[in-house]
Structure 1
């Protein structure tokens, strides 16, 4: 309809424009006034992402502060599936998976996820690798700050320290046992993500709960001695074609200086290792100690006043008890007037049985218990076995005889090493300790609580035992290979039949040696165990040389002065 009056047409047009503008104004009032908070919140939620902020995990160091486990800067790589170019999904999945070592199918599924704008592809990516990923320039691929665990000493102390898995949790060893302390308390952050490139918006809106850093651990271990122990036991296992081996180095007050297991693994590549390689055999493997256990029977007999080191016996190479024959490891003629000290030095099973006849089953059991048999050591490592040790009412008629010389009962290597540490410590048993204390984020050190201690035998009995154990390293004893020039050495060999659970019977041997030096003032104890060696199997032949290798290195490393005195002559035979 045409309007003849131009002013009426202009007024009508202005009215229509005013009406349209009023609609716009009303909508603006609604958006910026009435519902401004609602729309602002919706817009913010499209840009905000909640990101977990793991706390910086505490470091683990040796006694001198050398790092065994560190936390380093890393990145998390994520994808926003809504921003991925559908035509490039296959290309992106192939290139990202190759650079991050991921399965291409997994990455493709992440790119295709629905109803989400944040899917984490990989944790703990090194910053330089993350930078390469981001340089590809794909929209929808972003990164967030993280940290990753590294082990600068590689396999050194790996079975003690353990590892941290992809989820940031401790998987074995101290990393597992002290996971909560090391991990600290995680936080979180809400950050604005740019719709253009998927990166954080600097100075953007956000909320944050700061993480609380974990505490670090300072160990009693010496990295150098630990390395030497691992090198020595690895070489011995290979040389003697053994199944496995362990070395423990203790101070007399049972501080763990080294704890080596072989086979072992690299915690930086823990996924490539088997469960057996990752396990700590020092505490997790039970074995019959054999003749190294005779020292407890000897301690009981001396402490109870039933023998002296000079008490003599006529010792044949075999003896019958009820319907069972017990033998020495070698055939020999009757040793006339062999002293009790000589019985220990020559490691005679028969002589030990004869000397222990007047020791009751209960007394023998009580001394074994007092020295730590049948109970966890208290060192605080996961996977520890207390061994197998029953009460006398469950012993059969002849059990007490093999028990007296270290068979039909089982222990772990740390328990057995602790027996000799007790003797070296003047008869006082101290709970083994591995963690010297904790470190906060400022580096302040808090020592661990003092370990429990109690007297097991008198100081005089301990000194008599040490003098007797020196006899084992003489030419008349079973371990002259354990001697160290310039130092007096006291110790004991063990060659025990090895019980194999899968075969439900004995098969092969456990060869061991445990000793202390200098014998006149013990500073260190070293325990060596080889399981099922096939090229030689006597403890004095395969384990004693490892003891010498590790002990000599450890004494020099700790700058222990040479003995300077001659060992007293052990009387092997009475006049």
Structure 2
């Protein structure tokens, strides 16, 4: 009997030892699988967006940055539907009715990346069951400033358009994984607060532009004014240094505010007209065509004289002018923007050679600027230059260009005859400080001689002094320019009363540092000439730039 009791005590002691040993083992030497399973019941990971790198102008002024924001969600177990009314300022109608109903599970998203001002008002209400975490969202300090160039990001801060898209690989920072604590029932019991997680101040990638934000504001102000005044369908302006190819300003309308998503629902607002709008340049192409004729020896300042009656028959087409200009020398053709004189010169040119010259000027191909969505324009091959086509091209019809292509071509006239490569990114730097890209001036070849460039600059200066560009004349600054008023063709037929009005010019003539092209698409109303619609924009922008430069 005593022996049996002793055995029981021994067995009980052994069982106790085994249990104690197992508890000791689990506590100090747990199985990794068991540990992971156990911890997963008390810990959870939340993905929180990190700040993207900045986009800044040539002087370091921020154009696109990341700012703190708050993301809200509720735990349905502790949520009271009547509190949905307190969240109305930050939630959608659909989300409101969901919060008023019966929610299931332990997590329901409420609002993502709310700005701090609105978020603080909600946080101060201390609503039961409502939790929040800190994230980052993209912010554009200047609002509607060149949104098509900068682009925008999705809700997860991935670039979707413009520079944000093109340089996403450099600007994007992977999200931070944040651990939150849950109790035994699965309820999250610890969330980060403002003091728990400091805003990330580590170095990020950066893209520095050639844009001068001061000048960009000026260009946009006056282009917007003309766009609205003339009820235009679209507008574009580009300011370029004709010697280096640096883009100093680039503006496109209609536009949008990348900070307000509902403003860029229209596809036309997303379009960067400077690089993707293809249009017939009209008379702004005449200096280029005159340069080709002078290069080919098909026009002579000493010998050529024309008599403009206001119209001329070419093949099966009659080309008209605004009015009869009477007797003109070669310079007078440019000064008065005479279609008859240019059409006559155009018919002298060999189509194949003219085509090759236009290719060298950069037409019919992309410029290669560091922006997505660029169009190559329209330049038919010489085989299609039949009948009146050479005459039409000479007056800027039958050829499609982008504003940037035309600005670059005129820049060759301004800088002594050289085609330059336009660029808008000055440099791109990794988070480690390594410069992975640096934009630099690049000459792609000489398309006209220095002598031809000098003659054309003089002719374009006289356009401003006594021709169609007198609206931009200044006594204290030498300015060269050219007006353009092009009819719009649809289905091969030029439409009555539908025009593209433009003006291109550069200053100072002797050593140009600024070349500005202004294009107003389809202005409505009585005024449609480039000299009246586009030239005033050029004048106002130039005058403010001259003040900034002092």
Scaled by the length of structure 1, what TM-score is found? 0.83
Q: Which residue of 1 aligns with 2:69?
A: 74
User: Which stretch has the larger CA shift, 488-497 or 143-152?
Assistant: 143-152
Q: Which residue of 2 aligns with 1:558?
A: 549
Q: Which runs of 5+ in 2 are unaligned?
A: 194-199
Q: Which residue of 2 aligns with 1:143?
A: 132
- Cα deviation, residue 57, structure 1: 0.8
Supply the distance in 1 between the matched residues of 2:285 and 2:423 (Cα, whole angstroms): 22
- Cα deviation, residue 320, structure 1: 0.8
Matched, 1:301 2:293: yes
What SS does the aligned partner of 1:56 have? Answer: coil
- Cα deviation, residue 106, structure 1: 7.7
Q: Which residue of 2 aligns with 1:239?
A: 229
Matched, 1:323 2:311: no
Supply the distance in 1 between the matched residues of 2:83 and 2:263 (Cα, whole angstroms): 27
Q: Which residue of 2 aligns with 1:206?
A: none
Confirm or deny: 8 A CA contact 1:94 1:104 kept in the other structure.
no
Q: Which runs of 5+ in 1 are unaligned?
A: 1-7, 203-209, 560-575
Q: Which residue of 1 aligns with 2:196?
A: none
- Cα deviation, residue 36, structure 1: 4.2
Confirm or deny: 8 A CA contact 2:48 2:178 kept in the other structure.
no
What SS does the aligned partner of 1:69 have? Answer: strand
- Cα deviation, residue 441, structure 1: 4.2
Confirm or deny: 8 A CA contact 2:84 2:100 kept in the other structure.
no
Matched, 1:44 2:28: no
- Cα deviation, residue 232, structure 1: 0.5
Matched, 1:224 2:205: no
CA offset digits 1:434-480 (Å, max 9, x no partner): 011124447776661435422222222111111111121122x1111
What SS does the aligned partner of 1:266 have? Answer: coil
Q: 1:399 to 1:223 in 2, by over 3 A?
A: same
Supply the distance in 2 between the matched residues of 1:74 and 1:110 (Cα, whole angstroms): 27
Supply the distance in 2 between the matched residues of 1:486 and 1:295 (Cα, whole angstroms): 24
What SS does the aligned partner of 1:267 have? Answer: coil
What SS does the aligned partner of 1:156 have? Answer: coil
Q: Which residue of 2 aligns with 1:484?
A: 474
The partner residue of 2:283 within 291, 299, 306 is: 291
What SS does the aligned partner of 1:74 have? Answer: strand
Q: Which residue of 1 aligns with 2:274?
A: 282
- Cα deviation, residue 48, structure 1: 2.2
Q: Cα RMSD over matched residues?
A: 3.3
CA offset digits 1:83-113 (Å, max 9, x no partner): x23xx45235554454345732585499835
Q: Which residue of 2 aligns with 1:193?
A: 181
Matched, 1:419 2:409: yes
Supply the distance in 1 between the matched residues of 2:123 and 2:102 (Cα, whole angstroms): 16
How many residues matched?
A: 531
Matched, 1:261 2:249: no
Q: Which residue of 1 aligns with 2:197?
A: none
Confirm or deny: 8 A CA contact 1:164 1:175 kept in the other structure.
yes
Q: Which residue of 1 aligns with 2:489?
A: 499
Q: How does 1:127-166 map to 2 (within 5 A)?
A: 127-137=116-126, 141-166=130-155
Q: Which residue of 1 aligns with 2:455?
A: 464
What SS does the aligned partner of 1:268 have? Answer: coil
What SS does the aligned partner of 1:241 have? Answer: coil
What SS does the aligned partner of 2:376 have? Answer: coil
Supply the distance in 2 between the matched residues of 1:388 and 1:417 (Cα, whole angstroms): 16
Matched, 1:429 2:419: yes
Confirm or deny: 8 A CA contact 2:240 2:249 kept in the other structure.
yes
CA offset digits 1:302-360 (Å, max 9, x no partner): 11222233432233311111221111122x26x23x11111011111110111233210
Supply the distance in 1 between the matched residues of 2:19 and 2:123 (Cα, whole angstroms): 41
Q: Which residue of 2 aligns with 1:566?
A: none
- Cα deviation, residue 548, structure 1: 0.8
- Cα deviation, residue 397, structure 1: 2.2
Scaled by the length of structure 2, what TM-score is found? 0.87
Matched, 1:65 2:60: yes
